[in-house]
Chains A and B, each alone.
Chain A
Amino acid sequence: MTEWLVDSGLGLALLLLAAATLYAPRLYTSVVFFMGFGLLMAIVWARLGAADLALAEAAIGAGLTGVLLMGALREHPPRTERAPRPRSLLWAALLPLAVLPLLVEAILPLSGGAQPLPAQVDAQLAYSGVSHPVTAVLLNFRSWDTLLELLVVLFALLGTRQLALSSRHPHPPWPLLLAWCRWLAPLAFLLGAYLLWRGAKAPGGAFQAGALWASAIVMLRLNGLLPTVSWRDWRLRLPALLGVTVFVLLAVATWLWGAGWLVWPPGAAKALILLVELAASVGIAITLALLVMGEDRELRP
Chain B
Amino acid sequence: MSQTLFYLLVGAGLWLLGLHGLLCLRQPLRRIMAVNIMGSGVFMVMLALAVRPDSPDPVLQALIVTGLVVAASATALALRLASADRDRAQKTAEEGE
Residues of A within 8 A of B (CB): 3, 7-8, 11, 14-15, 18-19, 21-23, 27, 30-31, 34, 37-38, 41, 44-45, 48-50, 52-53, 56-57, 60-61, 64-65, 68-69, 71-73, 75-76, 80-82, 84, 88-89, 91-93, 95-96, 99-100, 103-104, 107-108, 110-111, 115, 117-119, 121, 133-134, 136-138, 141-142, 145-146, 149, 152-153, 156-157, 159-160, 163, 165-166, 205, 207, 211, 284, 288, 291-292, 294
Contacts and interface: CB of A to CB of B under 8 A. Distances in A.
Interface string B39-68: 010011101111110011111111111101
Contacts, number: 233
Contacts of A152: 69-70, 73
Given A95-B19, A107-B9, A156-B76, 14 more contacts: A7-B6, A11-B7, A14-B14, A15-B14, A22-B17, A69-B29, A76-B29, A92-B23, A93-B20, A103-B15, A104-B9, A118-B55, A133-B58, A136-B58
Highest count of chain A CB atoms <10 Å: which of B48, B51, B59, B65: B65
A146 B68 CA distance: 12
B66 A138 contact: yes
13 contacts: A15-B14, A38-B40, A53-B64, A61-B68, A69-B79, A92-B23, A96-B23, A107-B12, A111-B52, A118-B56, A134-B61, A207-B65, A207-B68
Given A61-B68, A152-B70, A207-B69, A117 B59 contact: yes
A129 B80 CA distance: 40
Nearest to B4: A111
B92 to A, nearest CB: 15
Contacts of A8: 6
A65 B6 contact: no
B14 A18 contact: yes
Contacts of A82: 26
Residue from A38, A61, A211 whose CB has the most chain B CB atoms within 10 Å? A61
Interface string B1-23: 01111111111111111111101
Given A50-B51, A110-B49, A145-B63, A156 B74 contact: yes
A11 B68 contact: no
Say which size band chain B's interface belongs to. 35 or more
A57 to B, nearest CB: 6
A15 B62 contact: no
B59 A142 contact: yes
A22 B3 contact: no
A48 B47 contact: yes
**Max chain B CB contacts within 10 Å: which of A27, A119, A149?**
A149
Nearest to A210: B69
Find the residue from A30, A49, A118, A288 having the highest chain B CB count within 10 A: A118
A299 to B, nearest CB: 12
Contacts of A45: 47
B55 A96 contact: no
Contacts of B56: 49, 118
A207 B15 CA distance: 25
A89 B22 CA distance: 11
B47 A89 contact: no
